């Protein structure tokens, strides 16, 4: 994680210092099933969750923000991210209420479905729009309200480009996305095309049932980009609870543990190793566990470095 985030920080600094051509407004972007028009760049933005906040920082937008939400209630900020947001308050440790956003005099909210908003909840694009707060929705989360294509890295790129358009820094966003695409393409060229694609399972959390990522979650795109296959990529969801029986039947060769919250990655690994129900899984028998921090396993600037780590792990396992 350290090396991956170091690169993110350098890209952020370079982008923040670049000179861009003035962008004309109004602009219109696609946000899930809505077209959203901005007459001017937001000046009092709020982002929810650590990965969405990092997207804002990667584009050098902290001077357009009045705060962020939804981090300390579940996760912690590492030192580098804490430096990036040190002048900004955390307005709510978990999902914010309308009153929190109104109290901050926000004019923009970058969130997603189950990333700061819930379908049918009090905080939605419609409820906030009545108060002049415009919303851009995380692309990965759109599956909760509409049909969409299987997850791909284009979801991340689209979000960065749309944010660049919304805030009038489109050239900066294009440079960042082009750099990510080139870095990923260069790395993928080193992965043998005839190499076996290992069966991979994402273990986010849970013991009685397991919370994992299906067809529309960014881990599916990351695993495929790294040369593997998500064993539950047929599940029509982004993040979902399922029974362990499905995991046992599909017998993963690699298990990716998402590290966050009160239960550590080491505890999750120990739960699987000690449970007799999992003793015959190839991943358990061969102790093939990979840990990704939450911010690496959700859409954001650390995805490319995380893909490299996954690919290196798949390669070293010698399937």
Q: Is the domain of 178 the same as that of 203?
A: no
Q: Is the domain of 172 the same as that of 259?
A: no
Q: Is the domain of 168 the same as that of 28?
A: yes
What is the pLDDT at residue 71? 92
Residue for token pair 């923000």: 65
Q: Which of 275, 272, 299 is nearest to 287 (CA)?
A: 272
Q: Is the domain of 171 the same as that of 36?
A: yes
What H or E segment, with its residue span, contains residue 166?
A: helix 153-166
Specify if 2 maps to a domain: no
What is the pLDDT at residue 22? 72
Structural domain count, the chain: 2
What is the pLDDT at residue 319? 61
Specify if 203 maps to a domain: yes
d(CA 304, CA 179): 10
Specify if 129 maps to a domain: yes
What is the pLDDT at residue 21? 58
Q: Is the domain of 94 the same as that of 155?
A: yes
What predicted TM-score, i.e. pTM, was given to this entire model? 0.91
What is the pLDDT at residue 308? 97
Q: Is the domain of 177 the same as that of 307?
A: no
Specify if 1 maps to a domain: no
Domain boundary among 182, 213, 242: 182
Domain boundary among 122, 157, 182: 182
Q: Is the domain of 162 the same as that of 233?
A: no
d(CA 116, CA 133): 14
What is the pLDDT at residue 318? 67
Q: Look up the domain containing 249 and give its range.
A: 199-317
Specify if 3 maps to a domain: no
d(CA 125, CA 138): 12
Specify if 192 maps to a domain: no
Q: Is the domain of 161 the same as that of 253?
A: no
Specify if 270 maps to a domain: yes
Domain boundary among 182, 212, 231: 182
Q: Which of 101, 93, 53, 97 is nearest to 74 (CA)?
A: 93
Domain containing residue 230: CATH number: 3.40.50.1980
DSSP-assigned letters across all residues of 272-319: HHH-GGGTT-HHHHTT-EEEEEHHHHSSSTTHHHHHHHHHHHHHHH--
Q: Is the domain of 64 the same as that of 138?
A: yes
Low-confidence ranges of the chain (pLDDT < 50): 1-20
Vertex 83: Cα angle to 82 and 89 (nearest 5) = 60
Phi-psi region of 103 (alpha: psi -120 to 50; beta: other; left: phi over 0): alpha
Q: Which two tokens stand for residue 116?
A: 């700061």
What is the pLDDT at residue 83? 77
Q: Is the domain of 175 the same as that of 227?
A: no
Specify if 241 maps to a domain: yes
Q: Is the domain of 33 the same as that of 147?
A: yes
Q: Is the domain of 170 the same as that of 79?
A: yes
Q: Where are the beta strands (DSSP E) in the chain?
A: 27-31, 34-38, 45-48, 65-69, 90-92, 108-113, 116-117, 134-137, 199-203, 210-213, 229-230, 239-242, 254-259, 289-293
């Amino acid at each position: 994680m350290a090396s991956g985030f170091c690169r993110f920080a350098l890209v952020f600094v370079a982008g923040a210092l670049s000179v861009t051509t003035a962008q004309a407004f109004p602009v219109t972007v696609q946000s899930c099933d809505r077209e959203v028009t901005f007459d001017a760049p937001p000046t009092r933005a709020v982002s929810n969750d650590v990965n969405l906040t990092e997207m804002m920082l990667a584009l050098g937008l902290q001077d357009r923000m009045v705060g962020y939400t939804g981090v300390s209630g579940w996760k912690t900020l590492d030192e580098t991210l804490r430096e990036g947001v040190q002048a900004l308050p955390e307005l709510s440790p978990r999902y914010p209420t309308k009153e929190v956003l109104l109290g901050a005099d926000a004019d923009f909210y970058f969130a997603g479905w189950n990333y700061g908003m819930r379908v049918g909840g009090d905080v939605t694009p419609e409820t906030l729009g009545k108060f002049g707060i415009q919303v851009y929705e995380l692309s990965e989360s759109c599956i909760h309200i509409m049909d969409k294509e299987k997850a791909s890295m284009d979801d991340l790129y689209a979000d960065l480009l749309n944010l660049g358009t919304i805030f009038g820094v489109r050239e900066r966003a294009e440079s960042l996305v082009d750099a990510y695409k080139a870095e990923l393409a260069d790395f993928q060229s080193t992965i043998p095309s005839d190499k076996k694609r290992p069966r991979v399972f994402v273990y986010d959390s849970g013991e009685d049932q397991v919370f994992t990522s299906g067809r529309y979650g960014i881990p599916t795109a990351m695993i495929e980009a790294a040369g593997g296959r998500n064993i539950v990529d047929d599940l029509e969801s982004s993040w979902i609870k399922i029974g362990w029986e499905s995991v046992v039947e599909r017998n993963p060769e690699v298990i990716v543990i998402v590290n966050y919250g009160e239960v550590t990655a080491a505890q999750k690994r120990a739960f699987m190793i000690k449970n007799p129900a999992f003793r015959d899984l190839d991943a358990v028998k061969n102790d093939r566990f990979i840990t990704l921090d939450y911010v690496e396993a959700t859409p954001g600037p650390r995805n490319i470095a995380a893909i490299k780590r996954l690919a290196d792990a798949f390669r070293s396992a010698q399937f």
